[in-house]
Chain A
Amino acid sequence: MMEREERRFVEVPRESIKLMAESIGVELSEEVAALLAEDVCYRLREATQNSSQFMRHAKRKKLSVEDFNRALRCSNTESVCGYGAQDALPFRPLKECELFFVEDREINLVELALATNIPKGCAETMVRVHVSYLDGKGNLEPQATVPTAVQSLSDDLLKYYQQVTRAILGEDPHLMKVALLDLQYNSKIAALLPYFVYVISGVKSVSHDLDQLNRLLHMVKSLMQNPYLYLGSYVRSLVSSVMYCILEPLAASINPLNDHWTLRDYAALLLSHIFWTHGDLVSGLYHQILLSLQKVLSDPVRPLCSHYGAVVGLHALGWKAVERVLYPHLPAYWANLQAVLDDYSVSNAQVKADGHKVYGAILVAVERLLKMKAHSLTTTAGGGSATLEGSVARSVGFRESSPGLSPPLEPISEPPLGIASHLHAGGAGCPWEDWTPVSLPAMYCELYSFFGDSLAMRFSTDSPQVGIPTALSCQQIHNRKEPASGATNLESTRKMPQLTANMNISPRQDESPHTEQPPSLAATAPGRSFARSSSSSVSRSRSSSSQAGRSSSQSREVFPKARFPPPQAGPPAFTFIIGGRQMGRRCQGRRFQTSFIPTPPLTSLPPRVYAHKLPVIGRVSKPVRRWTASYYSLYLPF
């Protein structure tokens, strides 16, 4: 029975009572001690039971000393002082003699007073707020890793999201394809868009891994092509991710074996896609992109791969972007590039190789620029009439001709008469808002001064039937740039297989700078005539033999003929017809036209120097293969 009793509750043994009594000098008989012990037990229990009520009403789980004291106070008993510490007081036994005590260490006040670390006070009571949004099924919104979107995701969507991201970023290429395809056509993933955008924004963290970057870019593409998704302002985020791939000196590009060039090209392609398809969702996006591209381009500290990215980015954004950003900046940039290319030291080999990449990219870009510009002029001219009035018609045509590729720009002003491209090019950093279009001939001339015959396009520099106004304008340009030469342009015809064999070109090119007038001066050719000549460039695939007949038959075909008027006052123009192979498909030959001014006074940048470069490139590092490779990598299906 005693054991059962023990189990019921703790008891204060009578020995303890006796000891306590002795400690205050009272001698207790056995009987009294027993009674007292029992009573003490009962009172303690009662007080404890009462104190639990205080604990419960304070809504705590832990009984505190203060609760016990309150219970004591309730029953008119003195409360126990000195045990109000917040921390638990360890109750310890002493093995040798059955003694139990509350451990109460002595505190060295001196030490405490001189201590440098001031003990922190009680932390302040404060309130933290947490909100759980519940959807109909009572699911809590997931709060990890994903950005806070007010939209809530169902379980299925979450699972889909996890599966798709895993598939895309995983190893299995087949799975990835399936996932990307689904992303492209799934109509129910609108709620997941922010999450995917978030994932894509992770490009910055995987810049060492080309593969992952590629996958992410593919994801962008799929999202973009999904007809059911409204990207909204997420376009901006996507663009910034893509721009990162285009422009940043990725960690992956440290190793020259990594083909980050292709990644940049693909990203640029994507950029243009985003821009053309969703560019209207964000206002000012075009300008922002241009600005950032220009910034990179004008920053000489940036590595060449970044410059490359900027160029391909501009190229991808359309010829107008090239015209407005790259072209004016070219002269300034050229000097830098030149320096790189001229350095033959071994240590520079890698940089130089990169430089060639940039060179190639620029070349492709400006060629396209020339081509499209000429094309736009042609269409205008064709739409107008056979007899072209002059510059007014051309300016109109400029606007009309934008073939859906160029963004809606502010109308381009009157044909440039007085602004020398050289002067303008110096201010590459200035915003393009105050940019004024350069006439095609002027542009061509300048580009020719850089690239020489590497330009696949040839234009005649004659001033055909434009009559006096054009002649005047031509005169003005001459006056600005150099003393009016008044020399006659020569018309020459050259054969130049496009890119198939550089070596074939070089001998011819050797002569071109010497014998012919530098193209920069050919810019004096009046715009009117260029409208014509560009049309011919469009139809250059036609054989030269059929040229005469056809040109006479229609207004459009008239151009070739009109392009070779009896030289009146303008310089002579040359037309080359190249009958070379063009990827083995057409052997009809192509016509290239150029006009030369016989004795050009050398300007600040002697064009021949650049023209010389091409053969050098060809010789230095397997030009043929590299050219083609880069050409294809830059191929943009417009």
Chain B
Amino acid sequence: MAAVQDGSTELDTEKETKPEILSDGSANISGNAGSGVLSSSPPAGGAQKPEEDQQTLIAVLQFLRRNKLTESVDILKREAGLSDDQENSKATDAGGKTDGDAGDTNALLSRVSIASAAAPQSAPLPLKSGDDQPDVRVILSAYSQQGEPPLYKVYYSDLKKFIESVLDCHRAELSQLFYPLFVHMYLELVYNNNESEAKAFFDKFSGDQECYYQDDLRVLCGLTKKEHMKGNETLLDFRTSRFVLRISRDSYQLLKRHLQERQNNQIWTIIQEHLYIDIFDGMPRSKSQIDSMSGSLAGEAKREVNKVKVYYGLLKEPEIEVPLDDEDEEAENEEGKPKKKKAKKDSLGSKSKKQDPNAPQQNRIPLPELKDSDKLDKIMYMKESTKRIRLSPENLPSICFYTFLNAYQARDTPLNLFLKLNLIDKESDDVLERIMDEKTASESKVLYGHGGPVYGVSFSPDRNYLLSSSEDGTIRLWSLQTFTCLVGYKGHNYPVWDTQFSPFGYYFVSGGHDRVARLWATDHYQPLRIFAGHLADVTCTRFHPNANYVATGSSDRTVRLWDVLNGNCVRIFTGHKGPIHCLAFSPNGKFLASGATDGRVLLWDIGHGLMIGELKGHTDTIYSLRFSRDGEILASGSMDNTVRLWDALKAFDDIETDDFTAATGHIHLYDNSQELLLGSYNSKSTSVVHLHFTRRNLLLAAGMYNSQ
């Protein structure tokens, strides 16, 4: 739906119908899927590829008609200039084409192999993308004409035997095929009502899958009926998106040869239709390399996805009239760690004037004007930062822990609870100014208005506003001056898991169960951008320190970085083995840390789009990550009742950024979690759900006491 912004006429029609689409579960998917494709290749009036566009249009029309949206059908037809005949003929054509594809597999195979030989880098399948996108039914029907399902077992075990027999270096790579093939075959069996076959298939091969897919397998094993598939959005997503594999050319050739020899068309078809094989030249990757990157619902990220330039530098600090020698405390961080010492010694003033080469244009995203009060606050901040404790592995922060008693089971008042939690957070954010009136007036305020529990809150940088996102699908803006609700932003139809203000205020981002993240401005009741692409819930959202990017973590086990300017996804980070629950940008904007239910913290280099570190140690979901104000320490709080401190400087220093790694994206991580771990602090039975570094680098932690 990012394409909505492009403003082409047909899509306007689609926009009109959007609310209805969203009201229907399955239709929602088609909307998302369609928009995803459209956004990647905007139709631009249907001039370049009229054939495919028409097909798409016809599919949309079919959908609308089926849903009895005759008005929309008429409008769309009028706008697109389609006649009924055209539509009908095209529809049959499309149907015939799919039939033809399925029927003449040999022809397809030969065509594909030619194509792949001709242009191996670009995957063979984009040509066909128009065919299987138009409609849900078409997608599902893709399964229906496949050959004898009972033979799947044979095929699969044949492939398995082959892969196990190849050289070690290839085996690891080709093993990646197991999981997606398994899932697709199983689904196909289920779809074709071969229930018992499906069960047998599942029982036989589910044990072979990587352990980190267990959660998915658990979902799969419950699914035994065709009817079940219709409502299951995750599986539909799995189908519509291609599972991305990264395989070296040698391994790919091996596989292809094998399949051709065996005339194993079933598997080849599945590979062609549902998998995206990203072929690279060079050494095959090792098992550990593959494992570190895989785990996501949709496979690894395509390499070209992460090639887009990201302006991760910080914006220039605004000039502030009041003379202060510590004016550029923030700017100092721009250059990143290695240069930091030098920067400290250098004349600090000149540093801040220079534009960071990696920073975006100052006005790339229009930012609100600084008010006088903001300036005062900046000054305050700088004053505070001079008093800040310099943290280092030898000088760890003190931790102040707020324990919420009697709150663990207080389900009825989560709003209250979370507000409390964050009032403390707020107090901590501006240590000196407002803590006083908060303390003197009352320690907590209850803001009534949501119809469900509040899952995410965020304070505006000037601390006048509070955002809260709730299960009731709304985001509310509260004034902290009057403690009343100012606006309710409606757009997400499902629970909103997280929301956050931009570092400069005005904008905010939210993400929820509807699998999209939305960018809002406080003075618009509709979202400015919709970031669609995640295959499952968007669980956490973060603004980049320069406000030009938004990072989202999702239950599909990927982290995506979105460009606020054009709504494009510019980075996809895969590697987590469980839903991601927290994200944190390093203060210099170069790095991103993410924590997930798998108990691991992964560190990412935004510029290169690489994973650069893995911090193991937690044994349960990590709910909170925070960098210290100068970025030396990373604190993580987890459900396992511990706060752990990590040496972030060291972790970032160790990056290997040679050209090869940067080009291929194949990182080799060695396990140095223990060296990086600076300390682990236990609470008795209080899970750590919130962390915060005050301006003076005191670490505040909060959690709910669990008496059981």
| B382 at interface by CB-CB < 8 Å | no
Residues from chain A with a CB closer than 8 A to the CB of B92 are none
Residue of B nearest to A130 (CB): B401
A64 engages B409 (CB within 8 Å): yes
A1-39 Cβ-contact flags toward B at 8 Å (1 or 0): 100110011000000000000000000000000000011
Residue of A nearest to B217 (CB): A8
- CB proximity to B under 8 Å, residues A367-399: none
B455 engages A42 (CB within 8 Å): no
Q: How far is the CB of B620 from chain A (nearest CB, A)?
A: 8
B494 engages A74 (CB within 8 Å): yes
A42 engages B396 (CB within 8 Å): no
| B414 at interface by CB-CB < 8 Å | yes
| B588 at interface by CB-CB < 8 Å | no
| B178 at interface by CB-CB < 8 Å | no
Given A1-B199, A56-B597, A57-B497, answer yes or no on A125-B394 (Cβ-Cβ < 8 Å).
no
Binds A, one of B63-71, B219-227, B475-483, B500-508: B219-227
Q: How far is the CB of A122 from chain B (nearest CB, A)?
A: 7
A70-86 Cβ-contact flags toward B at 8 Å (1 or 0): 10001100000000001
- CB proximity to B under 8 Å, residues A114-141: 122-134, 136-138, 140
Residues from chain A with a CB closer than 8 A to the CB of B471 are 54, 70
Residue of B nearest to A66 (CB): B411
| A413 at interface by CB-CB < 8 Å | no
Residues from chain A with a CB closer than 8 A to the CB of B416 are 125
B639 engages A125 (CB within 8 Å): no
| A163 at interface by CB-CB < 8 Å | no
B708 engages A62 (CB within 8 Å): yes
Contact with A5, one of B199, B227, B228 (Cβ below 8 angstroms): B199
Residue of B nearest to A124 (CB): B406
Residues from chain B with a CB closer than 8 A to the CB of A56 are 579, 581, 597, 621
A138 engages B678 (CB within 8 Å): yes
Residues from chain B with a CB closer than 8 A to the CB of A61 are 639, 687, 706
A9–B217 CA distance with the chains assembled, in angstroms: 12
A58 engages B398 (CB within 8 Å): no
Residues from chain B with a CB closer than 8 A to the CB of A45 are 222
A132–B642 CA distance with the chains assembled, in angstroms: 13
B225 engages A38 (CB within 8 Å): yes
| A105 at interface by CB-CB < 8 Å | no
A123–B407 CA distance with the chains assembled, in angstroms: 9
B406 engages A59 (CB within 8 Å): no
B704 engages A130 (CB within 8 Å): no
Contact with B420, one of A122, A125, A129 (Cβ below 8 angstroms): A125
B224 engages A134 (CB within 8 Å): no
Residues from chain A with a CB closer than 8 A to the CB of B155 are none
A125 engages B407 (CB within 8 Å): yes
A125 engages B410 (CB within 8 Å): yes
A1–B623 CA distance with the chains assembled, in angstroms: 40
Q: How far is the CB of B327 from chain A (nearest CB, A)?
A: 30
Given A61-B706, A74-B494, answer yes or no on A41-B408 (Cβ-Cβ < 8 Å).
no
Give the number of chain B interface residues (Cβ < 8 Å). 65
Q: How far is the CB of A46 from chain B (nearest CB, A)?
A: 7
B579 engages A9 (CB within 8 Å): no
Contact with A134, one of B443, B555, B679 (Cβ below 8 angstroms): B679
Given A58-B455, A74-B494, A134-B399, answer yes or no on A125-B222 (Cβ-Cβ < 8 Å).
no
A60–B455 CA distance with the chains assembled, in angstroms: 12
A134–B224 CA distance with the chains assembled, in angstroms: 55
Given A57-B497, A74-B495, answer yes or no on A49-B219 (Cβ-Cβ < 8 Å).
yes
A128 engages B405 (CB within 8 Å): yes
Residues from chain A with a CB closer than 8 A to the CB of B706 are 61
From A39, A57, A127, A136, name the one whose CB has the most chain B CB atoms within 10 angstroms.
Answer: A57
A536–B420 CA distance with the chains assembled, in angstroms: 85
Residue of A nearest to B453 (CB): A58
A132 engages B424 (CB within 8 Å): no
Given A42-B225, A58-B455, answer yes or no on A127-B400 (Cβ-Cβ < 8 Å).
no
- CB proximity to A under 8 Å, residues B690-708: 704, 706, 708
Residue of A nearest to B579 (CB): A56
| B395 at interface by CB-CB < 8 Å | yes
Give the number of chain A interface residues (Cβ < 8 Å). 44
B465-486 Cβ-contact flags toward A at 8 Å (1 or 0): 0000001000000000000000
Contact with A58, one of B414, B424, B708 (Cβ below 8 angstroms): B414
Residues from chain A with a CB closer than 8 A to the CB of B400 are 129-132
Q: How far is the CB of B153 from chain A (nearest CB, A)?
A: 14
| A436 at interface by CB-CB < 8 Å | no
A4–B205 CA distance with the chains assembled, in angstroms: 13
| A551 at interface by CB-CB < 8 Å | no
Q: How far is the CB of A71 from chain B (nearest CB, A)?
A: 10
A134 engages B398 (CB within 8 Å): yes
Contact with A125, one of B398, B401, B406, B453 (Cβ below 8 angstroms): B406
B398 engages A53 (CB within 8 Å): no
A74–B25 CA distance with the chains assembled, in angstroms: 10
Q: How far is the CB of B22 from chain A (nearest CB, A)?
A: 13
A134 engages B396 (CB within 8 Å): yes
B179-205 Cβ-contact flags toward A at 8 Å (1 or 0): 000000000000000000001100100
| B232 at interface by CB-CB < 8 Å | yes
| B417 at interface by CB-CB < 8 Å | yes
Contact with B404, one of A4, A39, A125, A134 (Cβ below 8 angstroms): A125
Contact with B396, one of A1, A130, A138 (Cβ below 8 angstroms): A138
A46–B225 CA distance with the chains assembled, in angstroms: 13
Given A56-B581, A59-B704, A74-B495, answer yes or no on A132-B410 (Cβ-Cβ < 8 Å).
no
Residue of B nearest to A48 (CB): B222
A9–B199 CA distance with the chains assembled, in angstroms: 13
A290-327 Cβ-contact flags toward B at 8 Å (1 or 0): 00000000000000000000000000000000000000
| B681 at interface by CB-CB < 8 Å | yes
B689 engages A59 (CB within 8 Å): yes
| B329 at interface by CB-CB < 8 Å | no
Residue of A nearest to B395 (CB): A136
Residues from chain B with a CB closer than 8 A to the CB of A127 are 402-405, 420, 424, 443
A131 engages B401 (CB within 8 Å): yes
Given A8-B221, A59-B689, A127-B403, answer yes or no on A46-B232 (Cβ-Cβ < 8 Å).
yes
Residues from chain A with a CB closer than 8 A to the CB of B586 are none
Residues from chain B with a CB closer than 8 A to the CB of A41 are 222
Residues from chain A with a CB closer than 8 A to the CB of B17 are none
A194–B200 CA distance with the chains assembled, in angstroms: 73
Residues from chain A with a CB closer than 8 A to the CB of B273 are none
Given A46-B222, A131-B401, A140-B681, answer yes or no on A1-B411 (Cβ-Cβ < 8 Å).
no
Contact with B401, one of A46, A64, A129, A138 (Cβ below 8 angstroms): A129
Given A56-B621, A57-B455, A66-B411, answer yes or no on A129-B402 (Cβ-Cβ < 8 Å).
yes
| B170 at interface by CB-CB < 8 Å | no
A1 engages B679 (CB within 8 Å): no
A38–B411 CA distance with the chains assembled, in angstroms: 32
Q: How far is the CB of A146 from chain B (nearest CB, A)?
A: 18
A128 engages B403 (CB within 8 Å): yes
Q: How far is the CB of A179 from chain B (nearest CB, A)?
A: 33
Sample of 8 more A-B contacts, CB < 8 Å, known A56-B597, A128-B405, A138-B679: A39-B227, A49-B219, A53-B555, A58-B455, A126-B405, A127-B403, A131-B398, A134-B679
Interface residues of B (CB under 8 A from A): 199-200, 203, 218-219, 221-225, 227-228, 231-232, 394-411, 413-414, 416-417, 420, 424, 443, 452-453, 455, 471, 494-495, 497, 513, 537, 539, 555, 579, 581, 597, 621, 623, 639, 645, 678-679, 681, 687, 689, 704, 706, 708
Name 15 A/B residue pairs within 8 A (Cβ), A-sorted.
A38-B225, A42-B223, A46-B228, A46-B231, A59-B639, A62-B708, A125-B404, A125-B407, A125-B413, A125-B416, A127-B405, A128-B403, A131-B399, A137-B394, A138-B396
Interface residues of A (CB under 8 A from B): 1, 4-5, 8-9, 38-39, 41-42, 45-46, 49, 53-54, 56-62, 64, 66, 70, 74-75, 86, 122-134, 136-138, 140
Q: Which 10 A-B pairs have the closest CB atoms?
A: A138-B679, A123-B406, A134-B396, A45-B222, A136-B394, A130-B401, A128-B403, A59-B689, A125-B407, A132-B399
